[in-house]
Structure 1
């Protein structure tokens, strides 16, 4: 049996530069436990993807130290046919995917989970193919927690640029600004080649995890290993109605909002009349998408849960 070896990939900018602050703490913990490891600190956007492509084959475990965006880079750089097991130290702004793993959000407690937990689950990954306006080139992006089209992508964009707050407060601030800049869109959605939905939408969210945006239950029934993705469609509504509905998403009551439509699927296609902004795990992948195809990569990787 191959001896476990651990590659820690740390995003120093995660959680308002909390990533930089935990490097020494992680090193001291690993030294005290005498654990075979290697640490890499990313230097620029996209660096994590490069590190994973270059180094992952040399380790049994890849430990992502950051938020959902850090995990996104990791899974976009990883060969899904690899034998790596993934661990997570959630120190980002939203940490939505960590909610699916019952982690503590305490550095030392979560380090203990990585090295002591026997719960290593296979989990699904979302795969998107995006066509942009005035382009015939297909762009491929994986996502581990969620992909959003429209309003929640606009929120993600604003949140990326305003990191002076942390957690849910950061997203609430971004939502307040997004309400002013919102741009609803007309979309045709085909689900599993059987169901067709059309109309003007506020947002379309595809979830592998059950929350997005730092704790909003837009896909509350999502399970990371059920071999399906979850779809949330919210029709175009007035800003006043949206303000009344947002708390329901925060307290897992979205099913009471008549303009919200929730369902599970394996593959879907979204065609937009005009170009729309899209995020994957909180990272903006395009601001000019005309179509998005979504499929699922079933049980491709293993992750450590509590």
Structure 2
């Protein structure tokens, strides 16, 4: 079992106050431990943690291009295997690098069966480059490239289901989690790095800057996502859903109302029709994963 008292991501980095990905980085390495090698794409975490010549990482860390962290990790894993070494090879990348730009390299790494753990910190847009829409952006969220206006309610497309895509690649272990539940993140990372073969974890990491909420509310926002059913914490083992966190669900309006990216749904009056569409997404999640807590 990993030593959860270790802090392998140092303080003094340049993340925003209340940054979800910064918290995720600490939790990931508490689960993975000291014998870790991190391959990181361009993104928020790379920018705030490693402004040359400084670094916040206390484990070996390599920065790749936006698109090819999984390919770099594949080479690192192959070299370690040839040397008879058994370090944990991690990719830690944002949703833009994962859902969009890097999906080809991820698919290749998983198809080849490399023994790596790919971790996506999902803050649901390209936050580092200006809050542009990504394949992870939720329905009706306003971003700089899917702005809400007179003829738009924001992003018109559903969030891409990357966990199912990589489960379909034959990944032995796929999981979702949230920084709102730190011990769950640590436990799932620890399980992934100790599972042979390519594993995938997607961590919900609320972004105070891009989503529009006070940085002191990051954990509260993360919990609301789960409590409404718009985010589900679950595990897929060998292609089958093994466990999903059950909740007594709240209306999605409670989650949407406290974020600037959904403010257009409440001005000049509450848009019940659009909110009902988002509620339907949460209801579908609840049915699919069986998360409704029976009272």
Give the structure with the higher percent helix: 2
Give the structure with the higher percent strand: 1
TM-score (norm 1): 0.34
Task: Tell me: higher relative CO, structure 1 or 2? Use CA pairs within 8 A at least 6 residues apart.
Answer: 1
